[in-house]
Structure 1
Amino acid sequence: MGSARPNVLIILVDDMGYSDIGCYGGEIGTPAIDSLAATGARLTNFYNTARCSPSRASLLTGLHPHQTGVAELVNNDGPGGYPGSLTERSATLAETFRAAGYRTHLTGKWHLSNERERPDGSWPTRRGFDRFWGTISGAGSYFQTTTLHDGETPVPLSELGPDFYYTDEIGTHAAAAIRDQGDDGQPFFGYVAFTAPHWPLHAKESDLVETRGQFDEGWDVLRTRRRRRQLDAGICSADATLDQRDPAVPAWADEPEQKWQLERMEAYAAQVRAMDRAVGTILTALDETGQRDNTIVLFLSDNGGCAEELRSDAEAADQFRRQHLIIPPSAPDGTPMRVGNSPTIRPGTADTYTSYGQAWANLSNTPFRLYKRWVHEGGIATPLIVSWPAGGLSDGVFDAPHQLTDIAPTLLQATGVPAVVERDGQSLPALRGVSMLDLLRGGSGVEHDLFWEHIGNAAVRSGDWKLVREYEGAWELYDLAADRSESNDLAAEHPERVEDLAAKWQAWADSIGVIPYGDVLAARASMPKQPA
């Protein structure tokens, strides 16, 4: 069964660090994902945009997020900021592939609309997806998933059942879509967007059993071992040392709450295991419908590991509880939700809402520093696995630098599908990236500069040189050929290179309409306050 034209399946995970999966050095068991890498290509210098919504916007449109209306999250910051919803001045890959005769489906997280309850023009059902089962908003309970929709019909919590677990359900629904769309001979474009392993730390007991004791030696030993496995696998083998432990993180031997810290990482790892199992469910559907060989499968993460610490003080917890669109009012048994990171709250169960914190995120991002939200390597480096057995791809590890804007041109070249160039008679912006197909087939690829801006954090990579700064900070310069861990700032030694790269960044920012972050903050402050 299947079509002569290749299917396309993008699998995106949420808040997963660079080294968490086995084929990028991690100790968490991920056999399904590793099997993709065994039959495909792994890119070591691939980049997202540092945060969930803008990464999704860029991945699905081939544009930089600022061109799509979703440059930070899905808040509408008014006339002086970004609208926070996917604009009509872009075409999604679903719209593009559907125009070429593909069936299209989305399973999982959307997070590209600031209207989370009433369907509007930025919902997936209005942006090219024939079939949608998933959530409109971002993070949420895995046991009581809010903003869940089947098409445009809300799925109430009362219908979820006692054994509901969102990650498993994403795998089941995605597999069903593949089986259904494999019956008529038309090719499909599928987008599977897991919320795992984004907080809250919600895990099934059967998965927790498998991760208990796995991290007992602590983050220092584990980071060193991950780096060793990366070197053995040729991952960042020549261009990165193991950066020093984050100065804000104590040595494991000095950590006063080791038992609680281990419970946090065990729950996070259990979420990764569940996600890998769901990927296996999806790959089995491809195998059993005879579509695996002629399906282009991409696997990647939307940003680096997340260091966010959820506050547990009464005021912050109460404010968080009132955000009912991402957190249910109570646990399934009616008990109050316990919100925040505290040793008094053991993570994993449905009545908790916690995250795994900075120290474990530092492990997740081995061998890099910093995290989600930053455009240093720890925030933007992601695994990218590309598998297409019938597509003539070269197996192994590829070091050429690429970013999200390069995915759309690659898929369009591989499938022969033309880009959508206009909507309602109005020209759409041209795709900003380059195709990776020649590289993936053993060629030299296309050298090009890469650019980022997120909440005022900015970066440009040109060849092996990267210029990067935090918002309102000075530019830093790194030679990534020798220092991808960004430990040796060379800005003072190469002022002319700093000036040249800064000019390149500014020209790019002007060309795509980056709004200075100070202006975004001012616009946000001027907006009417929304009721809690």
Structure 2
Amino acid sequence: MAGSVHSEIDVSAASLHDNKRPNIVLILADDLGYTDVGSFGGEIATPTIDSLAAEGIRFSNYHTAANCAPARAMLLTGVSNHRAGVANIIEMIPPEQRDHPAYQGELSHNVVTVATLLEEAGYNTYMSGKWHLGRTQDKLPSRRGFQRTIALADSGADNWEQKPYIPIYDNANWYADGERFTLPDDFYSSRFLVDKMIDFIKSDQLKDGSREAPFFAYLPFQAVHIPVQAPQEFIDRYEGRYLEGWTTLREERRRRAIELGIVLPDVPAATMHTTRDWNELSDEDKRFEAKRMAVYAAMVEAMDFHIARLVQYLREIGEFDNTIFIFTSDNGSEPSGADALNTTRARFQLARQGYTADYETLGLKGSFVNLGPSFASASASPLAYYKFYAGEGGLRVPLIIAGKPLAIKPDVERAFTYVKDITPTILSLTGVDQPGGRYAGKPVERITGKDLSPLLKGNVDKVYGDDEAIGYELAGQGVLFLGDYKLVMTRGPVGDDRWRLFNINNDPGETRDLSSQQAVRFQKMLNLYQQYKRENGVLDPPQGYNHIRQVALNTIYDRFRGEAVAVLILIVLLVGFRVYAKK
């Protein structure tokens, strides 16, 4: 079988509807790579996450979307992101697609969130962290089932202060219970978000310390989204650790992942063509690049440190043994920006945004760090590609499900699983029914994800049959999973716009294209992908689409379209006046 779990989970309807219904803590890292945590092969110190993994199930074949908002839409609803209105993040959707219901970039009202369903079932529901699924009043998390919220509406923000991280935003848009919120002066994102979550949980305790209802706590961190930033004491622990470079790190992680059973023995891992030759760098550049990775590792460890504070609090109030933990990432590691951050041009651009990239203060308040494509590839080892791209490195991320209410034997589960599966699994573990085709008097999309409880129980080898296709699309890049196989087309300039076929069970690094050898399977999966496009309202991107350039174009369009319309009207009036004058 895919995993060797044999213990049963006591999730009978009777046990789930008494006072011992389990709490759910859903922890979402942002842009965390496949082997960034220790229990998946990484060298970064993540003892809290690893301790959960040691008591639970590590899903080594779990897939999500290639960027954040689509992943979050599926995570919280169990519905395909296109059908939920979030084909892409709103910042990357071209104007030509904005009138289409699948391309709103915000969570549609035709879906029901897991928080709404749990709240209706008597759960207290909390969210503390990044939302990025809409920032109008009707689309903030306070209107989508969460009773208490601290929410960042944007794609990201500074981790040390209330400051936008890129110029597409005028402000860092934070909200508390639906109202605009000003961050405290001593803000650091991971610490602050855990503080607020503890406050929310504490607020519903009775005077004797007991609780009238279980809780659902959604904790979507900013870590490790750009700008990568961390406290100095964490950075110091990794000073000099990465001086051997990204290629060495990628291989170290591949070997460790094999030892842990995360990937099969002898799994090949091709070197990405976007990875520079470490040996061609000067000693000064090697030192600088190693520091960037050190800051990244520090941010991951800082997140783990603050998760430990939440875990300890739950122990102190007697709720740890009644809590199920789910830990994952929204997508793979972030490659944006060139590896060469330490250049005059890069520093000039950062200065315009109010940031520096000085070695001594890298990662601290006022500095800007990104991982770059070479270390992003190491972060995703042994997989190919990273965030924004349809390779496994963009889609395959860690998933850990643990907690004493499950009563399971720790194991690695290799069956294919998908981000849409999280909501139906939470509903199953809490004894809450899925909505049908209608909810609250209106039609809604049905959940299409799978309940993973049978895998946790060890009752089945897989939840997706070999004939069940799972499609995905991002800005023209296509993916179709079918059994052990993956059909994929990755767009340029990183990809080559060609359809390929891989067996991702024994070749997760996507090194052996099987499209010629298995032509019948290849054509069948191409046909199934076209069917997926039709059924989910997938649109092809405009000719020449580039996701980074589109962000810049959308910034101009959104900020100046009012002025542009005025100019256009003036031109029409002037032309009309000249025509009239000639009569």
Normalised to the residue count of structure 2, the TM-score between the two structures is 0.82
Matches of 2:196 and 2:544, distance apart in 1: 38
Range with greater deviation from structure 2 (130-139 or 342-351): 342-351
Who is 1:507 aligned against? 531
The gaps in structure 1 that reach 5 residues or longer are 323-328, 330-335
Distance 1:474 1:402 in 2: 25
Corresponding residue number in structure 2 for 1:268: 296
1:49-68, Cα deviation, whole Å (9 max, x unpaired): 11111111110011111111
Query: Which of the numbers 372, 380, 391 marks the counterpart of 2:387?
Result: 372
CA distances 1:308-344 after superposition (whole Å, capped 9, x unpaired) = 116979999888888xxxxxx6xxxxxx433xxx777
Q: How far off its partner does 1:148 sit?
A: 2.2
Say whether residues 1:434 and 2:447 are aligned partners: no
Map 1:79-228 onto structure 2 (within 5 A). Answer: 79-80=99-100, 82-113=103-134, 115=135, 119-145=136-162, 146-157=172-183, 160-161=184-185, 163-182=186-205, 183-228=210-255
**Is structure 2 residue 355 aligned with structure 1 residue 337?**
yes
C-alpha separation in 1, matches of 2:441 and 2:236:
57
Partner residue, 1:326: none
Q: Secondary structure at the match of 1:458?
A: strand
Are the aligned partners of 1:265 and 1:356 in contact in 2 as well (CA < 8 Å)?
yes
Q: Which amino acid aligns with 2:155?
A: G
Letter in 1 for 2:129: G
C-alpha distance in structure 1 between counterparts of 2:24 and 2:350, whole Å: 38
Q: Deviations over 1:19-66 (max 9, x none)?
A: 000000100100010011011100000011111111111100111111
1:346 positional shift: 5.7
Once residues 86 and 40 of structure 1 are traced to their aligned partners in structure 2, the CA distance between those partners, rounded to angstroms, is 31
Match of 2:88 in 1: 72
Three-state SS of the structure 2 residue aligned to 1:108 is strand
SS in 2 for 1:225: helix
Residue pair 1:17, 1:361 contacting (<8 A) in 2 also: yes
Shift of 1:242: 3.9
Q: CA deviation at 1:136?
A: 1.3
- Say if 2:489 and 2:498, in contact at 8 Å, map to a contact too: yes
1:280 is aligned to 308
Preserved contact between residue 149 and residue 177 of structure 2 (Cα < 8 Å): yes
CA distance in 2 between counterparts of 1:167 and 1:526 reads 30
When the two structures are superposed, what TM-score results if normalisation uses the length of structure 1? Answer: 0.89
Give the Cα separation in 2 of the matches to 1:86 and 1:200. Answer: 25
Displacement of 1:498 after TM fit?
A: 0.9
Whether the 8 Å contact between 2:129 and 2:221 is mirrored in structure 1 is yes
Question: Is this contact kept in 1: 2:75–2:422, CA < 8 A?
Answer: yes
Alpha-carbon shift at residue 259 of structure 1 (Å): 0.8
Q: Deviations over 1:270-310 (max 9, x none)?
A: 11011001111111122122222222210001111111116
1:489 is aligned with what amino acid? D
Q: State which drifts further: 202-211 or 191-200.
A: 202-211
Contact residue 294 and residue 391 of structure 1 kept, 8 A: no
SS of 1:236's partner is coil
Looking at structure 1, the residues matched to 344 and 374 of structure 2 have their Cα atoms a distance apart, in angstroms, of 24
Point out where structure 2 has 5 or more consecutive residues left out of the alignment. Answer: 1-17, 163-171, 561-583
Cα pair 2:111 2:445 within 8 Å, conserved: yes
Q: Name the stretch that deviates more: 342-351 or 27-36.
A: 342-351
Tell me which residue corresponds to 2:477: 457
**Corresponding residue for 2:76?**
60
* Larger radius of gyration between Structure 1 and Structure 2: 2
Moved more, 10-19 or 246-255: 246-255
Q: Structure 2: how far apart are the matches of 1:57 and 1:321?
A: 34
Aligned residue identity for 1:97: L
What CA distance in whole angstroms lies between the structure 2 residues aligned with 1:95 and 1:314? 50
Q: Which residue of 1 aligns with 2:20?
A: 4
* Alignment-derived partner of residue 511 in structure 2: 487
Q: Please say if 1:353 is aligned against 2:368.
A: yes
Q: Retained in 2: the 8 A contact 1:263–1:346?
A: no
Measure the CA separation in 2 of the matches of 1:357 and 1:403. Answer: 27
Cα distance in 2 for residues equivalent to 1:101 and 1:479: 44
Offset at 1:416? Answer: 1.1
2:529 maps to amino acid: W
* Aligned-partner residue type, residue 195 of structure 2: T
| Deviation string, structure 1 residues 336-387 (Cα, Å, up to 9, x no partner) | 433xxx7779631222223111111011001111010112101000100001
**Count of aligned residue pairs for this structure pair:** 507
Contact kept, 8 Å, 2:78 with 2:449, in 1: the verdict is yes
Alignment partner of 1:529: what SS?
helix
**Alpha-carbon spacing, 1:526–1:442, altered in 2? closer, same or farther (3 Å):** closer
CA 177–526 in structure 1, closer or farther in 2 if over 3 Å, else same: closer
- In 2, distance between residues paired with 1:412 and 1:426? 21
Shift in Å, 1:520: 12
Residues 178 and 245 of structure 1, relative CA distance in 2, 3 Å threshold? same
AA in 2 matched with 1:286: L
Paired residue for 2:463, among 434, 437, 446? 446
SS in structure 1 at match of 2:522: helix
Distance 1:375 1:144 in 2: 33
State the alpha-carbon separation in 2 of the partners of residues 210 and 193 from structure 1: 25
User: Shift in Å at residue 105 of structure 1?
Assistant: 0.4
Percent identity for Structure 1 against Structure 2: 31
Equivalent-residue separation in structure 1 for 2:403 and 2:127 (angstroms): 20
User: What amino acid maps onto 2:279 in structure 1?
Assistant: A
CA contact (8 A) 1:15 1:306 kept: yes
> Alignment partner of 1:531: what SS?
helix
Report the equivalent of 2:413: 398
Conserved? CA contact 1:178–1:286, under 8 Å: no
Q: Compared with structure 1, are the counterparts of its residues 231 and 314 closer, same or farther at alpha carbon in structure 2 (3 Å cutoff)?
A: closer
Aligned residue among 337, 350, 368 for 1:309: 337
Q: Which residue of 2 aligns with 1:332?
A: none
SS of structure 2 residue aligned to 1:491? coil
3-state SS, counterpart of residue 478 of structure 1: strand
Aligned to 2:579: none
Q: 1:252 aligns with which of 278, 283, 287?
A: 278
Give, in whole Å, the separation in 1 of the partners of 2:361 and 2:337: 15
Q: Partners of 1:289 and 1:50 in 2: how far apart?
A: 38
Whether contact under 8 Å (1:243, 1:487) holds in the other structure is yes
